[in-house]
Structures are given as structure tokens and as C-alpha cells.
Structure 1
Amino acid sequence: MTAIKHALQRDIFTPNDERLLGIVNVCKAGKKKKNCFLCATVSTERPVQVKVVKVKKSDKGDFYKRQQTWELRDLTEVDAKDASKENPEFDLHFEKVYRWLASSTAEKNSFISCIWKLNQRYLRKKVEFVNVSSQLLEESVPSGESQSVAGGDEDALDDYQELSTREEQDIEGMMEMCEYAISNAEAFAEQLSRELQVLDGANIQSIMASEKQVNILMQLLDEALGEVDTIEGKLSSYEEMLQSVKEQMDQISQSNRLIQISNTNNVKLLDEIQFLVNYMDLSKGHVRALQEGDLTSPKGIEACINASEALLQCMNVALRPECVCVCIQKYGMGLNIRLIVSPCSVIQGHDQSSTLVQHTAEMSLPKHSPLHRDLLRYAKLMEWLKNTHREKYEGLSRTYVDYMSRLYEREIKDFFEVAKIKMAGTTKEAKGKFATLPRKESALKQETESLHGSSGKLTGSTSSLNKLTVQGSNSRRSQSSSLLDMGNMSASDLDVADRTKFDKIFEQVLSELEPLCLAEQDFISKFFKLQQHPTVTPPLAQVNLMPPQAEHRHSMSSEKDIVRLMMNKIFQSIETELNSLIALGDKIDSFNSLYMLVKMSHHVWTAENVDPASYLSTTLGNVLVTVKRNFDKCISGQIRQMEEVKISKKSKVGILLFVTAFEEFAELAETIFRNAERRGDLDKAYVKLIRAVFVNVEKVANESQKTPRDVVMMENFHHIFSTLSRLKISCLDAERREAKHKYTDHLQSYVINSLGQPLEKLNHFFEGVEARVAQGVREEEVSYQLAFNKQELRKVIKEYPGKEVKKGLDNLYKKVDKHLCEEESLLQVVWHSMQDEFIRQYKHFEDLIGRCYPGSGITMDFTIQDMLEYFSSIAQSH
């Protein structure tokens, strides 16, 4: 039991801060023997909690676990069963009586005694002990201890510790030395006290005897300190001797370093003198080329380039700034003056008037590669001018920009005018325009010659189309036509070829502009030496010919800005003309925005791949925003037109125009946006449009007076479902399923409402039969009801001979035919659904006759086969 108690304390109660005080091995009385342990415990923390815990071994038998816990304060009675005889049974009364059988009477008595002690010590409410021997309770608390159990110091009991084995042996040995240690404790204590005093005196004498040894030790320490001082004095003298040697060595090292520096400087000076002798000598041929070289011939230009490079090499020698200025003044000024004049003469000699009319008629932009080729011969000399005379360099760049901006403005405007005329489709007007172009040739030449003046300004005026009107003898479309424009015309009136023609013209415009801008930007970068990479600043900057602000402005980042600024000035009309062309295309047909969105997106993507920061990329990106805005406006306009649609009150609705229009829009859009970069924009537009179609179909169906609501919903949603299934637009899969669901629901609703109750009296008769059955009448007894006997049933059946039924179905077919439209071809589908519904009702009547009138032999005047023939013959006859 001790081992078990130790194991329980370690595994169960110590982790919960509890102490195990009593334990008994028990099982429930009167039941199958399943042993467990009842444990009496107290907590180690205050306030002290006393508990009775039931502990049971696990099923695997590896460990113990707590099964049930009771507070001791909840215990009201302990019944030991018999106080005079040994009996292992006992009861504990908590909220209910628990009957236990202990493994032995001794364990039971020990556990009850422990409970009694804990009750006396910790509980105010005393537990009642029944059939417990008073001797057992008295033995539990011996005389003199009851006081301490009831109200003693608990901490004193908790702090008690047993003596170790060694301590016991020492005490026993000490007591054996004195015979009266046990009989006379006071005499033994006095003897121990006397011996302690003797030992204290011996310790004091020992300490006093060691004083002489301490004095000797202190004297030896003093002698050691004196020796240390002597050694330190010798070390100081040695250090002074070494210090003088160190100073001498430092002087020698300094002298060697000065000698080495002197030798290095002499070598560098010699190299510098040799360099000046080799590079500061400019040949007479280079001097003559700089001062008198011909800048109109290739050989003269090459000689000037070689001479300028030689002069730059001389100037790059790191001399005083005034020396460099002398070189420039002596040799370079003549080249600067001639270098400014020569490119200007090339620019002014450039005449495009002879080819402008031809390019405009062919709807293409003139290429200026000959001008670029002629000017690029001076590219290296432009670098010389840029490094030696910034003001002249910038003046020449302004001259070029002014000339090209006026030239491009006139060419681009004429190019866009022709594009607008071709877009508008007015052939006669276009021919008239082309016919007048030759007559304008002289004026065009005169305008070009005005560029040759000293001022370099273009004063001529350019022709423009201020207003385009869209006309045609057959009035094919209005200016605001669209697939969904119900007020002007239907989608079938639009010419798909015109849209294809517009797409080709718009693509040609972008294809002409793209290489033109890229070629011009490439030329500007090469000719004016504005490369998109860092350039090495020449030593010439030290001459202060350019202020520091200018040096910073012409760094790598600023050169990109300069190129972009020059391109903006040269092509300042492109963005305006593109926006004007886009506005015209949108005015001709709002669905042209689909073509423009795809084409513009592709060209923006291409331009960004070449150079995201280029002028072309930025300009096309700005125009793309306008195109996207027009596309969104087009979609919004279609939705608004759906909402404004009106239907005739006198004619049937059929397939709504905006439903067929959405079909044509989707077919057109899928063709245009195939493999396009902006497919996401189309998907968003699809969702907006289809939701608007759904809402407005339902709106029209609710407002329809001539055509039933179910027919409008059924036919239009069937058409929408067919369209979406055929086009397979993935983003509209949910709407396709919704359209199918709406079509099916409204088809069923229309069939039920239109067919109604073709055998009305028979239907009313059987409704009464079903009502009697629902009231509790047995089915076989319904025929005994006066109103529903066999004679009444036969009378009702006679009113519906086969001919009358067929006649009613024929009238129903005509009614359905009037409701449905021909283009959707749903008549046979509806008629077949009505046939199924009629057969269902017929089978229901037959079933009721079989169940409620068994053995009567009553049948309908016509069979299901007859009904199938009725439906088939009616459908064929119409």
C-alpha cells in the first residue's frame, strides 16, 4: 500500500498541489468487484481545501486517473456499519449515499480515523460518525494532541523534518558517551554546555597563537614589494635607452619616404612633359581644316571631324582654363561659325512639296530620311559644338524644331483630313479634295520656301476640314447609329463592310504615325547627341563655358527630358488630330470604338515594349484613355436605349430589338476582340449589357398588353440562351444558365395557364371526389355519394366526346399561334409541352376512376392514342 500511496502522490496529487493523507482500497458494495481507491487529500495552498478523491486504474493498467472528487464539507455522515465487530463495509453520505466495501477492516478504520482528524481540524460543520468505536476516535487523537489538532499551529507540523541516518548515529554516539543522557536530560544538557565552552576557549587560544606567524608573513610581503620597486626602476632606465633608438629609426624612415616621393614626382613630371610634347602639337593640316574646311563635301566634313577630334584631344589636357580658351579662340571659332551655317543650309534646302500631294492622295506620311541622312554627316561635329559652344548648339536645335514642327503640322493635318474623308465614305467629296490638291501645289511650294528665310519662321496657312458631314444617297445610317439604336434604324441596316473599312483606315493611320515618330526620335538622339545613356563630361567643363546649372540640366535624366520636349514641339498636332479622328469615328458609328480600343491598345503595348518613356508611348497612352472613355460611353448609351424602348399596344411583341441587337453586338465584339490585349474591358461590358437586357425584357413583359407575359419572357430568354450557347462567352456562363432557367420556367407557366382545364366539368367533378377523400371518405365508398355516383360520372363523361375535345384543342392551337412569333419557332415546342400536360391530366382522371369506381367499367370517350392523333393532325393541318 505504501508503494501505491507514493505513486499516487507523485503522479496525481503533486501536480495538483495536494497532499495524500489517507487511502483505502475499496469496491462498490453488492456489485461486481471493480477495485478503486478512496483518497483523503488536503491542498498545499491556503485556504486549505479538503477533498475525498476516487482514483481508478486505467483500462490498460499503465497509470492511475482521477474519476470523481467530493469536497469534505459536503460529507454529512460516515456509517461504519458495526462498532463492535470487524466489518469492512462503510457508507459515505454526500449528496447521495455511497456504499463501499474495503479490502480490509484495518484499512477502513485507518481511513475513517483520517477523515475524523481532518474534520476536527479544518471543518466548522462537524461530520456525524455512526457505528464507529469511540476507542478508535480517541486513539486517533491522543491526550495532549487533541488541542493541537483542533487549533494547533499547522505551520509547525508542516515544517517538521525527520533526522537523517547520519544525524541519528551522531546523536546516539553522543548519548552513549554519557550514561545518564536518557535518565537525566538536564545533567546531560549541562555537560554539553560545559564542553562547548571548553571548545570555544581552545579556538580563541589557537587564534592568538597564530599571530606571530601572521607578523612573519607580513614582513615577507614588505620585502617582496621592495624587490618589485627595484625591478621597475631598472625597466624605466631600459625604456629611456630604447626611446632614443626609436627616434633615430623614425628619422631614417621619414627620410626614406621623402626620397621615394621625390622619385615618384620626378617620374610623373617626366611623363607629363612627354604627354604635352606629344599631344599639344596640332598639325598644320588640322589647323587649315578647322579654319577653312569645306563642310559641303564628304571629304571636307571628314577632315573637319578629324581636326576637331585632334583639337579636343589637345583641349582635354589638364591645363589652366585660360590656356584652353586660347586654343578654342585660335582654332575653333571658325569651325563653330561654319558649323552653324552648314546644317541650316541643309534644312532650308529640304523641299517636300513635290511629293506631298502624292503621299496625301495615297494616305501616307512623307518620310524625311533624306534630310536625316544629310544632317547625320554633321553628327560628330554637333558633339563638338555641344561641348564648345552651348548657346550656338541650342540655337541650332531650336531652328530645327521650329522648321520640322511647321512641316509636320501641315503634313499631319492633310494626312488626317484624307483619313476623315475616307472614314466618312463620301467618295465624291474625296475626289474633289484630291482634284484640288494639284492646284495647291504652287501655294505649297511658296509655303515651303518661306522656311528658307533668315528668320526661320513658317508663315503660310494650312488647309483643314473644319466640319465633316456624313451623307449618302441611300441614307445608310444616321450619324448616331448603333446596333442598339431603336429610334433611327435596326441593326440589319448597318453595313459590316463599312466597319471593316474604318478598321483598316484607323490601323493605317496608326501604322503611318508609329515609324514616323520613332524615326524622328532616333534622329534627334543621334544628331543632337542626346543618347539615352550616361556621357562622360569632358574636361572642357572646367573652362566654365557652361554654368553649373547647365551641366546638371544636361545629365542623363535631363537628356531624356530634352528629347521628349523636342518631340512634343515637333509633333504637337498628333494628339489633337488623333482625338479629332476618334471623335469622328465615334460619331459615324459608336461601335467603331470597339475597333479603336483594340487597335490603340495593341499599338500602345508595342510602343511600351520599345520604350515606355518615349513620346509615342506617352501620346498613344493619352489617346487610349479617350478611346476607353468612348467605349464606356457607347455601352452606357446602349443600356440607356434599352431602358427607353417602347412597345406597340396593338401588335404582339416577339423577339425584342435590343435582344437581337445584343446578339449582333456579341458576334461583332467576339470577332474584333479575338486575341486582343483588352479582353477584360469587353467582359465587363458584356456583364453590364446582359444584365440590362434581362431587366428590360422583364420590364417589357410586365408592360405588354397584347402578348402574354410568359410568352415574352419565354421567347426572348430562349433567344438569349441560344445566342450565349452558340458564342460560348465564358464570362457569361452564369447568365446563360439563368436564361435557360427563365425560359424553362415561363414555358411551363404558359403551357399550364394556356391549356388550363380543357375538360372543365370533368375536372370539377374529380376535384369534388378528391375533396371527399380528403375529408375521410374511403375511395371505394365515393361512388355511394349522391353527387358523385356512377350515373353522375357517366353523365359528365358524355359531355366530352372525342370530336369536341379535338375542336377545343384546335382552337387552343390557333390561340397559341397568335401569341408566338415566327422567328423563334417555338410553336411546336409549346404544342408538344401542352400535349404532355393534357396526357398527364388524362392519366390522373383514369387513375381516380380506377381507385374510386372499381369494376364499374366506366372509361373516357377517347384514349391516349386518340389524343396523340388529335395533337398531331392539328399541328400538321396548320
Structure 2
Amino acid sequence: MAKSSADDEELRRACEAAIEAGGSKQKIVLSIRVAKSRGMWGKSGRLGRNMAKPRVLALSTKSKGQSTKAFLRVLKYSTGGVLESAKLYKLKHLSKVEVIANDPTGCTFMLGFDNLRNQSVAPPQWTMRNIDDRNRLLLCILNICKEIMGRLPKVVGIDVVEMALWAKENTPVVANQTNPHDGPVVSTVTENDLKVTVEKDLVSQAEEEDMEALLGTYVMGIGEAEAFSERLKRELLALEAANVHAILESEPLVEEVLQGLESATICVDDMDEWLGIFNVKLRHMREDIESIETRNNKLEMQSVNNKALIEELDKLLERLRVPSEYAASLTGGSFDEARMLQNIEACEWLTGALRALEVPNLDPCFANMRAVKDKRMELEKLKTTFVRRASEFLRSYFASLVDFMISEKSYFSQRGQLKRPDHADLRYKCRTYARLLQHLKSLDKNCLGPLRKAYCSSLNLLLRREAREFANELRAGTKASRNPTVWLEASTGSSQTVNNADTSTVSEAYAKMLTIFIPLLVDESSFFAHFMCFEVPALVPPGGPLNGNKNGSNDDDTNDDDLGIMDIDENDSKAGKSSEELGTLNESLQDLLDGIQEDFYAVVDWAYKIDPLRCISMHGITERYLSGQKADAAGFVRLLLDDLESRISMQFSRFVDEACHRIERNERNVRQMGVLSYIPRFATLATRMEQYIQGQSRDLVDQAYTKFVSIMFVTLEKIAQTDPKYADILLLENYAAFQNSLYDLANVVPILAKFYHQASESYEQACTRHISMIIYYQFERLFQFAKKIEDLMYTITPEEIPFQLGLSKTDLRKMLKSSLSGVDKSITAMYRKLQKNLTSEELLPSLWDKCKKEFLDKYESFAQQVARIYPNETIQSVAEMKDLLASL
């Protein structure tokens, strides 16, 4: 075989001379002659452009510090036959090695690089003299890629196994000449030393022998398992035979036990039969005794009942008489106030007479007597006539009372004068007929339904008119700024003063509306329940908070709802009946008060338009009134307060959503630096909200804080991500501003304290990232060297680390010289870089202290590594570095 040009020392020296002429200090690994052509993909043109041209391919490496770079150089012959550089490729960009299939010899291949600018031009094709030269060059390229870059390019058209076999057969032996004093010595350099083979990727001969031995053991193990299985089967059969023998031996004992059980069963059956006979005899004796006792009791009862019957018949004759004066009042008497005493007495007699003819009060044997039936029919006619006349009178009476009050303007609020609703006269006139209604209920419960509807319909008109006039005059007479404050507006600068106009009159107006009307509505509900004879507990306890003059009840009588009628029948107010009528009462209260809520809603909406933050005060006022209401009484008033609370919460949520939308609009702005506008404005907003909290509205404000801060932090993170270079600076400045502005509030408000700590953690994280970036920017080589040492200590001993590539003592000295010479200038540059993009100067001292501490900790860790791994090397001590940092 002809000598390969790769072994041509003159060619290698010519390549080295051409490289050195270009000013590059690189080492030639392999040089070989090739022919260059464009192939069928070349551009059409002159003939010489597509012809094969002689070239030399040279593989070279260059070491810089701990890293090694590999290059593929293309050299051509000049006019004088001297080699000169034509092209230079970096092997780290080599992506594909492809052998051209059109060449039957297999000596033509292409090298594809992924950084070529003009991808439309096909890469050149390289043709070798023979397959050996091609394999030798390609193996050298692949090994360099694997050992220096740690990866292999894509290989197309080549069988890697064939190349490995070729490498094994063609391992070159290179004579390494040395000139010691004793003479030249020839040493053999194997293929591993030249790094031009991939044989180490295949299975070695020793590994093949181990695999064959393992397979042989596996086959032998199968035979032993079959023998073991046969032995187990034999033992199982023997055990089964032993069990059967033991069972057969115990058969006499089993028979003896069965005979004993059978005799015991016979004895139990005999005993059960005797017990049944005795039980029948005892039952017959008990029935005979009961029969005798019953006959004796009946005889005694018959004698007693005959005497009692004579007495009851005498009493019955007295009951059946109807007084003439009561009959006249029930059928045609007047319902004027002067005649009400006679009407009440007639009702009481009629109620008692009807009750006396009922079965519980009248012996059942009298109920079917003709005289009793006739008298009962006569009393029923009297009752029907009286109930009809009284119901017609009361319906017209309620309507006339309300019509009179509505026609008088003096009862309602006038322009410039708020009028407290006064129903004392109305209740006084209604109270005259309270006992009449109580007796009507006892006579006919069904008559109360129409009367209740008539009363509710009439009084509802009066209450709605009073609420409407009062609410209109309340809003007209309240002086407050009608320019709502814009909170958290993105376009508003953080230095702009917030409109702090006093809007307390708004919430005072709402409180006044509740103070006047809630006690009034509760009193009306209570009065209606008692006046219309609902069997429920008292809605307002005597002397309760809503009955006093302070909260707007009438001045005439604090015990206004005591109608003096509860002594008619104490049995009518039992707890069982109370629960049954609560539903009916709430339905009637709905008719009585429905529609009045619209005027309360109007006051809430009016207050929201003036100052949305007043929703907090109104929410607290509403909760205070709501907590004072019973859960099982005055149902409509409680529903009204619930609806008001929901409406106030909805309006406040609307304000919070609008403010959050303004916060989110910040992220649409293009480059933002420094503290964002909504950070300090949120502190002002939170201070204002804390001033408005009343009662139990803490939850409403805490939910708003949670939504505000969540949107603020999310928006801040989004704005920071738009410019990653300055993201940490923007984050730490804004989180610091958030903490500074909310420090005082966070000490007294738990939910703000939680967000304060969250901002503190985010601030520390942003500071750590920013400071680490600045430190590594100035001392990258120093801490990369420390990182390599730290990674190797997990796998090898510290004594072996100085012998690793790039970590020798010489490398350490070079790194220390480049990193720590002029360390004061580097630290000063680190301070300037920290100061460069910081808009909040007050943060600089604390950040610089954190930076010095972080740098000192990292340097101390590096010094400990050096002292352990390089004990004889001296570096600048930690104390000196600490003093240097303190002096700057």
C-alpha cells in the first residue's frame, strides 16, 4: 500500500509554516491531501469552476486556559507552489459528515457546518486517494469532536462498525525519538495515544468472556430448578398421605361426639314442649281474672255516671240561655269608640258560649242532643254576622286613617327640613280595636287574612311615601364633593397629592337613614305582629336598643307595642304555634314593607358616586344594625339589611375591580424604571380605607387588600419580565418602596403584615440575584475555577484535583493573577455597576453591604478550597480581603 500523505512530514511542516505565517499559534494534528469539487450541485459557469482542485486539509487545535478549540483548515497552492491558508472552519459548528453515494469508490464526502451564511450554495466535496485516507481523516475528526466538544456530528453513508474494525486493523505504530545521553530510544504510540479510533465504544474481549460465563451459569441454574421442583412435588404427596391417615384415625372420636349431641337435642325438645303447655294454662288464668275485674268496674261506673248526668243536665239548661243585651250588640250595634266596651263584652260572652258547647268543655253525650244542636246553630249565625260587620268596618277604617295622613304634607319631610316619621297617633287609634281583633281571631281565624292584607296595603303606601321624601331631602341637604377620587390610576404620578376631601357627611347621611327607618320598620313589624294577633314572640324586647329614643323610636311611649291583650288567653302564645305562624308573618311583612328598599338603594348608589370608599363605612354601619336583629323575627327588616349589605359589597367590589384594572394597565407601558406609581398610591389608599372601617367590615377591606396586592405583585413581575436586564433592579426597588410605604400600617393590620413579609422575601430574592450577577461579572474566572473544584470533589479525592486538566497549580496561579491583581479596581467597578442603574439612592448602602458580605462569603469558601487542595499555594487572606472591602 502506498504511503499516505498524512504521514508526510514535509507536508506537515509546510502546513505549520502556512499557519504560523497567518499569526495563529495552533498545533497541527493531521494534514492530508485532497481534491475539491462542487459536484452536480455547483453553479453552472466556466469549466474550471467544476473541475477538481488540489487542496490540503489540516486539523489543528489551540489551547486557551482550560479550554481547547479545534479547527479545520483548507490550504491551497499558490502560483509558486507554496501552501497558503484558503478557509478556516471551527469544528464546534460541524453538524454532518456525509459520504457521497454517487461515488462508487466511497472516497468522496462532504462536511456540513451549521453557521455558513449562504446555505443555498452546496458545500464542497472532498475526494481522497483511497478508502484508508478517507477513514483516517474522518476518524480523526470524529474523535476530536467527541473528546473536545463532547458530541458527535451526524454521520451519513458510513457504517460505524466497519470503521471501528478498520481502526483496529490499522492501528499505526509511531516511533517517538528521544535523545537521552545513552542514545535514541524508540517508543510505540498506540491508537489511543493518537486519539483516532472509536474502538473503546465497542465490547472488549474480556467483557465477551464474562458474558459467556454468565450465560453458562444461567443454563446450569435452570437444571437445578427443575430438580428442586421434582423434590418439592414428592414431599407434597407424602404430606397429603400423612394428613389422610390422621383423619381416618380420628373417626371413632367424631362418632362419639355426634351421639352426645343427638341425645342433648332430644332433651331440649322435650323441655320446650312442657314449657309451651304451662304457658297456655297461665294465659287462660290471666284472661279469667281480667274478665271478672271488668264486670265489677262497669257496675260501679254506671252508678256514678247516673248521678253526674242529672247534675250536667241542670247546668246545660243554664248554658243554653242567650242574654238579650249581648244579642243586640252582636247583630246591630255600633263600632264607635264609646261602644267598644259593650262590643268586647258581647264577644267575650259569645266566645265563651261557643267554647262551652264544644266537646272538650261539653260532655260528648250532650253534643248530639237536639236542643244543643239548635243552640249551636243560633250562636254560629251570631258569630258570622258579627265577624262580617266588624271586618267591613276595620277595612274601611284602616284606609281612612292612611288617606288622611297622606293628604297632610306636614307628616313628611319638606324642602330644607327632615321630618322624622311619627306613627304615634296612628297606633293609638289602631290600639282601640286591638282587643276586637283578638276576639275576631278566636271567633274565626280565617277573617284575619283579608284584614291583614288591607292593613298592609294601606300602611305600605304611607311608609314608602315617608321613605321616599326623607331620602330625597336627605340627599339634597347633604353637602359633599361630587368629584370622585381616582385611585391607582396608571397615568397619575406617585408624587401627585390625592384629593382628601371630607366625605364623612355621605356615610352620616346613610347612617341617619338607617337610624330613622330601621327602628321604625322594626317597630311597625312588631306592632303589626301583635296588633294582627300573630302568635310569635315579641320582636323587640322591652327596653331594647331599637325602642329607645336614641335610635329613633317615638317619644310618646317606649313600650308602644304592649297592646295589653296578652291576658285574653295565655294558651294562645305557646312555642309550637309560634313557629307555625312565623312563615305567615313574614309573608305579611313582605306586603307591608315591600318597595321601601328602593329608597335605601338610592342612598347607597348616591354615596358610592360621591366617594366609593364610603362603602366601607356603610358596610360597617349595616353590619352593626344587622347584628342587632333577631334571626327569627322582623324577617323583612333582616332581609333588607342583608340586601343593603350585598349591594354595598357589590359596589365596593366594582370599585376594587376598576382600581385593579388601572393597575394592570401599567404593564402595557413600554420601558418603566424606578418605583411604579401605584405602589405609594396604594399606601395612601390603604390608610384612607383603615380610617373608614367601622364595626365588622374588616373582612371586606381585607379581601380588597388581597385582590389589590395580588394584582400589584403580578403586574410588577410582568413589567419586570419585559426587560430581563433590569428586571431585578425594578423588582427590588418596588418591593422596597412597598415595605417603606406600608411599614406603619403593617404593624397594626395583620393582612398587610402578611403582604409586607411577602414583599420582604421577594425583595431579598431580587437582591440576591442582582448581587450575584454583579459579583460574577467582575470575578467570573475566580468563581468558575472554584465551581469546577467543587464539582470534582464529589467524584475524586482532593489530592487528585491539581492533576486535572485546567486545575493545576500553574492554572491556579494564572487565574489568581488575572482575577486578583488590581482587586481594588474590580471592587470599585462592582460598586459602580451596582450604582449605575439604581434610581433609589437610599437603597445603595444596604445593597452594597449585602454585596460585600456575599463576595466575602464566596471568597472565604474559595480560600478554604485552595488551602485544602493546594496547601503550598498562598493567596490573599480573607482578613486582607475584608480590610480591603472595609476601606472602599
Identity %: 14
Letter of the 1:367 partner, please give it. Answer: D
Give unpaired runs (5+ residues) of structure 2.
Answer: 1-226, 254-287, 358-371, 539-564, 570-576, 793-797
Whole-angstrom distance in 1 between the partners of 2:660 and 2:604: 22
Flag the 1:710–1:728 CA change in 2: closer, same or farther, 3 A: farther
1:522 equivalent to 2:526? Answer yes
**Shift of the alpha carbon at 1:573?**
2.0
Whole-angstrom distance in 2 between the partners of 1:850 and 1:630: 69
1:373 equivalent to 2:428? Answer yes
Please name the residue that 1:701 is paired with: 720
Deviations 1:623-656 (A, max 9, x none): 43334444444444444433332365465231x3
The answer to whether the 8 A contact 2:437-2:531 is kept is yes
The answer to whether the 8 A contact 2:522-2:634 is kept is no
Please name the residue that 2:517 is paired with: 513
1:750 equivalent to 2:770? Answer yes
Letter of the 1:281 partner, please give it. Answer: P
Flag the 1:302–1:489 CA change in 2: closer, same or farther, 3 A: farther
Q: Please give the residue correspondences for 1:799-838 in structure 2 after superposition, counting only pairs within 5 Å.
A: 808=829, 811-812=832-833, 814-815=835-836, 818-821=837-840, 825-837=842-854
Q: Please give the residue correspondences for 1:549-628 in structure 2 after superposition, counting only pairs within 5 Å.
A: 560-609=582-631, 611-612=632-633, 614-628=635-649
Q: Please give the residue correspondences for 1:410-809 in structure 2 after superposition, counting only pairs within 5 Å.
A: 410-421=465-476, 425=480, 471-472=482-483, 477=485, 481=486, 483-486=487-490, 494-495=498-499, 498=502, 500-532=504-536, 560-609=582-631, 611-612=632-633, 614-646=635-667, 648-649=669-670, 652-654=673-675, 656-670=676-690, 672=692, 676=696, 679=698, 683-704=702-723, 708-721=726-739, 723=742, 726-727=746-747, 729-730=749-750, 736-754=756-774, 776-777=801-802, 785=810, 788=813, 808=829
Give unpaired runs (5+ residues) of structure 1.
Answer: 1-72, 77-93, 96-117, 125-148, 162-242, 427-470, 540-554, 871-878
**Shift of the alpha carbon at 1:749?**
2.0
Which of 451, 464, 474 is the aligned partner of 1:409?
A: 464
Whole-angstrom distance in 1 between the partners of 2:747 and 2:844: 25
Letter of the 1:833 partner, please give it. Answer: K
Whole-angstrom distance in 2 between the partners of 1:281 and 1:510: 54
Letter of the 1:262 partner, please give it. Answer: N
Q: Please give the residue correspondences for 1:107-118 in structure 2 after superposition, counting only pairs within 5 Å.
A: none
Whole-angstrom distance in 2 between the partners of 1:333 and 1:760: 105
Whole-angstrom distance in 2 between the partners of 1:762 and 1:153: 87
Whole-angstrom distance in 2 between the partners of 1:784 and 1:255: 132
**Shift of the alpha carbon at 1:583?**
3.5
**Shift of the alpha carbon at 1:690?**
3.5
Whole-angstrom distance in 2 between the partners of 1:399 and 1:495: 52
Letter of the 1:829 partner, please give it. Answer: S
Letter of the 1:699 partner, please give it. Answer: K
**Shift of the alpha carbon at 1:569?**
3.0
Flag the 1:533–1:716 CA change in 2: closer, same or farther, 3 A: closer
527-536 vs 411-420, greater mean Cα deviation? 527-536
1:309 equivalent to 2:348? Answer yes
The answer to whether the 8 A contact 2:490-2:662 is kept is yes
Whole-angstrom distance in 1 between the partners of 2:875 and 2:391: 126
Which of 217, 237, 261 is the aligned partner of 2:305?
A: 261
SS of residue matched to 2:628: helix
The answer to whether the 8 A contact 1:315-1:327 is kept is no
Whole-angstrom distance in 2 between the partners of 1:764 and 1:154: 82
SS of residue matched to 1:598: helix
**Shift of the alpha carbon at 1:511?**
2.3
Whole-angstrom distance in 2 between the partners of 1:694 and 1:659: 10
The answer to whether the 8 A contact 1:769-1:788 is kept is no
Larger radius of gyration: 1
Q: Please give the residue correspondences for 1:293-372 in structure 2 after superposition, counting only pairs within 5 Å.
A: 295-296=336-337, 300-310=339-349, 312-314=351-353, 316-318=355-357, 320-324=375-379, 327=382, 345-350=400-405, 353=408, 355-356=410-411, 358=413, 361=416, 363=418, 365-372=420-427
The answer to whether the 8 A contact 1:701-1:713 is kept is yes
Whole-angstrom distance in 2 between the partners of 1:258 and 1:764: 120
Deviations 1:251-272 (A, max 9, x none): 9997876554332211101122
The answer to whether the 8 A contact 1:347-1:400 is kept is no
Please name the residue that 2:283 is paired with: none
The answer to whether the 8 A contact 1:339-1:381 is kept is no
**Shift of the alpha carbon at 1:616?**
0.8
1:271 equivalent to 2:315? Answer yes
Letter of the 2:305 partner, please give it. Answer: I
Whole-angstrom distance in 1 between the partners of 2:875 and 2:666: 60
Whole-angstrom distance in 1 between the partners of 2:860 and 2:229: 78
Deviations 1:639-697 (A, max 9, x none): 4433332365465231x334345444554555555761x65565555444443333222
The answer to whether the 8 A contact 1:503-1:595 is kept is yes
Deviations 1:734-773 (A, max 9, x none): 6554433221121122223345555789999999999999
Please name the residue that 1:103 is paired with: none
**Shift of the alpha carbon at 1:855?**
10
Whole-angstrom distance in 2 between the partners of 1:795 and 1:564: 90
Letter of the 1:372 partner, please give it. Answer: R
The answer to whether the 8 A contact 2:412-2:470 is kept is no
Flag the 1:526–1:160 CA change in 2: closer, same or farther, 3 A: closer
Whole-angstrom distance in 1 between the partners of 2:667 and 2:704: 24
The answer to whether the 8 A contact 1:382-1:529 is kept is yes
**Shift of the alpha carbon at 1:412?**
1.3
Deviations 1:134-160 (A, max 9, x none): xxxxxxxxxxxxxxx99x999988889
**Shift of the alpha carbon at 1:411?**
1.9
Q: Please give the residue correspondences for 1:272-287 in structure 2 after superposition, counting only pairs within 5 Å.
A: 272-276=316-320, 280-281=322-323
Flag the 1:275–1:156 CA change in 2: closer, same or farther, 3 A: closer
Flag the 1:869–1:403 CA change in 2: closer, same or farther, 3 A: same
Deviations 1:534-570 (A, max 9, x none): 999x99xxxxxxxxxxxxxxx8677545543443233
Deviations 1:113-139 (A, max 9, x none): xxxxx99xx969xxxxxxxxxxxxxxx
Whole-angstrom distance in 1 between the partners of 2:821 and 2:296: 147
SS of residue matched to 1:819: coil
The answer to whether the 8 A contact 2:463-2:596 is kept is no
Flag the 1:827–1:390 CA change in 2: closer, same or farther, 3 A: same
Whole-angstrom distance in 2 between the partners of 1:567 and 1:308: 28
